[in-house]
Amino acid sequence: MGESALTNGARAVFLDRDGVINRPIVRDGKPYPPPSLEDFSLYPEAAEACRALKEAGYLLVVVSNQPDVGRGTQQRATVEAMHTAMQKALPIDRVEVCYDSGSGLSEFYKPAPGMLFRAAQALGIQVPGSYLVGDRWRDIDCGVAAGCRTIFVDRGYREHLQCRPDHTVSNLLEAARIILQSEATK
């Protein structure tokens, strides 16, 4: 992929799905994706946050590891039904999903930045001018590896960050406000 594909073009906000856009299932301090479409519930602030970012001219790209599909404990059709529901409710431009089990090396399984680069190539996104918003260490490490600014949504999970995020917030709306405020000061 050419350098110009990653540095010239539109800006995006890359969004993790579970824990940022929708409520995960939390057991023993660890988040898990919802097991069914009926359990898939968007956070109340997700629509307002996404709408504000779209109005400011950002492309919205969901980047989500879904290793349960690769492990055979979740149906791909169920995950895709969740994405269809999410895209009906929110102004999402693209959904990137890695279905790998997470047990091997993959350029797309976060913390690897492959999903961001694939979306950047497809949509003409300027990665260094973009943001990644996530609730897990893998998300923040992915954003750092890609060269974007990172915002950590702290949901109080029992895991530690490896890379330091640019900002820490409690939800997506706070993240959107930080992004929009940074635009206002440019």
- Specify whether 154 is catalytic: no
What count of other Cβ atoms lies within 10 Å of the Cβ of residue 70? 19
82-36-135 Cα angle (round to 5): 65
Task: Please say if 39 is a catalytic residue.
Answer: no
Domain residues for 173?
3-184
Inter-residue contact 99 to 93 (CB < 8 Å): no
Q: What is the pTM of this model?
A: 0.94
Tokens matching residue 133: 């918003």
CATH of the domain at 114: 3.40.50.1000
Structurally, the chain folds into a number of domains equal to 1
Give the pLDDT confidence of 128-176 residue by residue, as tens digits: 999 999 999 999 999 999 999 999 999 999 999 999 999 999 999 999 9
What is the per-residue pLDDT across 92-139, written as a single tens digit (0 to 9) for each? 999 999 999 988 889 999 999 999 999 999 999 999 999 999 999 999
Please identify which of the residues 16, 93, 100, 141 carries the catalytic annotation.
Answer: 16
Q: Which of 18, 100, 139, 141 is catalytic?
A: 18
